[in-house]
Chains A and B, each alone.
Chain A
Amino acid sequence: MLRQQVVLVALESDVSRAVLAARDLAQATGLSTAQCGAIVTAVSELARNIVKYAGHGRIELSIVARGSQRGLQAVAVDHGPGIESIELAMQDHFSSSQTLGLGLPGTKRLVDEFEIDSEKGRGTRVVVRKWA
């Protein structure tokens, strides 16, 4: 069984490829339909952020274990401009504009675990996990 997959992301079509790969792995992980939808939507958001803000990067998908529990982990990595203030980026924007912000608070709500690491000028790394 495929346990790991890396999708290089630069174009809109790569977002779709990341989404499809995430869906296959999410199903293989044994996530419920709702859980699959949540993590796959999160991957879609992360991949779009890479295209929009960093230009290119990658999504690393893997099935992970915690005791007897299995989960899907997605790591979004880019070497783009980085995020100046993670604190600010993690605040909800209650603006009418959908384009404001990175959608990170929303992405966090879709998953069970969310870690972010970013340095201005060096890139961003976001790790999300959803447990079955």
Chain B
Amino acid sequence: MFDSSVPRVPLQRSKGSVLATLPHELAPGTLDQFELDLLAKVREHGLTGVVIDLSALELMDLTEFAKLKRIVQMTQMLGPKIVVVGLRPGVVAGLVALGADATGLTTALNMELGLEVLRAQASGVALSEAAELPEVLRQALLGTG
């Protein structure tokens, strides 16, 4: 699947999280390669948080948005919390006009707020699920956090 002609999305790791910065325009295959790279990275390093930075991205159509949603969904199923940050107003205007469904996406204005959302989610989910899931509670109590 590796194609050297497809630009890779840089993935920077910081503690248990990874920051993915998407380019200003998406070449064909960029999101597919990103999906492979991100899932591999998450698994390899046991990451607990993912931030996808779209602040440079100028355009997104429905097909690309659907791919992004799929990547977010897949990553979430692996375990990490994930937040999409920096969507430009123009991109958002286009997606809303196209009727894009953002259900399941957690977004934040910028990186700083995105990291806060991740932290809140990590603790919030552990607390709310702890009541019904002893296993989660046990993990939360024994966890590294």
Asked, given contacts A103-B62, A107-B98, whether A37 binds B28 with beta carbons under 8 Å apart, the answer is: no
Whose C-beta in chain A lies nearest to the C-beta of B30? A16
Docked-complex contact A45 and B61, CB < 8 angstroms = yes
Q: Which residue of B lies closest to A14 (CB)?
A: B28
Contact B97 A109 (CB under 8 A): yes
B97 contacts which of A12, A13, A23, A38 (Cβ < 8 Å)?
A38
Instruction: Indicate if the CB atoms of A106 and B90 lie closer than 8 Å.
Output: no
> Closest residue of chain B to A34, judged by CB?
B90
Q: DSSP class of A's interface residues: helix, strand, loop or mixed? A: helix
B58 / chain A contacts, CB cutoff of 8 Å = 37
- Tell me the complex Cα distance, A93–B65, Å: 17
**Given A37-B58, A45-B61, A98-B66, also A110-B98 (CB < 8 A):** yes
Q: Are A45 and B62 closer than 8 Å at their CB atoms?
A: yes
Q: Which of B91-135 contact A (CB under 8 A)?
A: 91, 93-94, 97-101, 103
Expressed in whole angstroms, the Cα–Cα distance for A31 and B107 within the complex equals: 29
Contact present for B28 and A13 (CB under 8 Å): yes
Give CA–CA (A103, B14) in the complex, Å: 39
A29 within 8 A of B: no
Q: Cα distance A53–B65 when bound, in Å?
A: 19
User: Which of A12, A13, A110 touches B94 (beta carbons < 8 Å)?
Assistant: A110
Q: Is the CB of A106 within 8 A of B65?
A: no
Is the C-beta of A68 less than 8 angstroms from some C-beta in chain B? no
Complex: A71 Cα to B63 Cα, angstroms: 26
29 A-B interface contacts by CB (under 8 A): A12-B28, A13-B28, A15-B28, A16-B27, A20-B25, A23-B59, A33-B90, A34-B89, A37-B58, A37-B59, A37-B94, A38-B93, A38-B97, A40-B59, A41-B97, A41-B98, A45-B61, A45-B62, A45-B98, A48-B62, A93-B99, A94-B99, A96-B101, A98-B69, A98-B101, A99-B66, A103-B98, A105-B99, A106-B99
Identify the A interface with B (CB < 8 A): 11-13, 15-16, 19-20, 23, 33-34, 37-38, 40-41, 44-45, 48, 92-94, 96, 98-99, 103, 105-107, 109-110
Q: A98-B62, A99-B66 are in contact. List 4 more A-B contacts (CB 8 A).
A: A19-B25, A37-B91, A37-B94, A98-B63
